[in-house]
Copies of this chain bind each other. A is one copy, B any other.
Amino acid sequence: MKLLEDRIQKDGIVLDGDVLKVGSFLNQQLDVPFLSEICKEFYRLYRDAGVNKILTIEASGIAIAALTAQYFNVPVVFAKKAKSANVASDVYKGTVKSYTHGVVVEAVVSKEYLHKNDRLLLIDDFLAKGSALEGLLEIAKASGATVVGAGVAVEKAYQGGGDGLRAEGIRVESLAKIASMSKKDGIVFC
């Protein structure tokens, strides 16, 4: 999606440790009018998929999930990150590794908010190795709900998470796919 690619080229900053900083518009500052515009594309892609609920994970997925939900006119459920010890029995859970922070957390959703007749669209801001989406898929599977697919704003395609999920048969749509990035050569899209 050219609109997002252009914005990433303009405002994204490649940092050490393979980090793309887009904090000025996607996290932690949220350019809401812009994000609402790009979320329209998730609706265009999934409008015929029978989505009745959007599932995301706190914190940076919440804004784009909520803005996307407006087009679908459906609720959002967000998974909370919990220390394993705190996880109660009345939740569905999935394991999420954060490569940025080097920690493993349990993502949890109360059982009352996911049902086996739900048709879920997974939404997140970033897809790198795919761990957050894998955690959400684990939660969805435990609930018996159907996952119609995933929508992410930025996919770091060279990290392989997106293709791994596609190989498992999951539909994954990314608004901007990064083929490579470095401080020296900048950001190259697929």
A contact residues vs B (CB 8 Å cutoff): 23-25, 28-33, 35-36, 58-59, 62-63, 65-67, 69-70, 73-80, 109-110, 112-113
Contacts and interface: CB of A to CB of B under 8 A. Distances in A.
A118 to B, nearest CB: 11
Contacts of A29: 75-77, 113
Contacts of A80: 28, 59
Copies in the complex: 2
30 contacts: A23-B110, A23-B113, A24-B112, A24-B113, A28-B78, A28-B79, A28-B110, A29-B75, A29-B76, A29-B77, A29-B113, A30-B66, A30-B75, A30-B76, A30-B77, A32-B69, A32-B70, A32-B76, A33-B69, A35-B66, A36-B70, A58-B58, A59-B62, A59-B78, A59-B80, A62-B62, A62-B63, A62-B66, A63-B65, A67-B70
A24 to B, nearest CB: 7
A27 to B, nearest CB: 8
A61 to B, nearest CB: 9
Most B Cβ at <10 Å: residue of A29, A32, A76, A77: A32
Interface SS, A side: mixed
B31 A75 contact: yes
A113 B28 contact: yes
A63 B25 CA distance: 15
A113 B73 CA distance: 31
Given A30-B66, A62-B63, 9 more contacts: A24-B112, A28-B78, A28-B113, A29-B76, A30-B69, A32-B66, A32-B73, A33-B69, A59-B78
B78 A33 contact: no
A71 to B, nearest CB: 10
Contacts of A58: 58-59
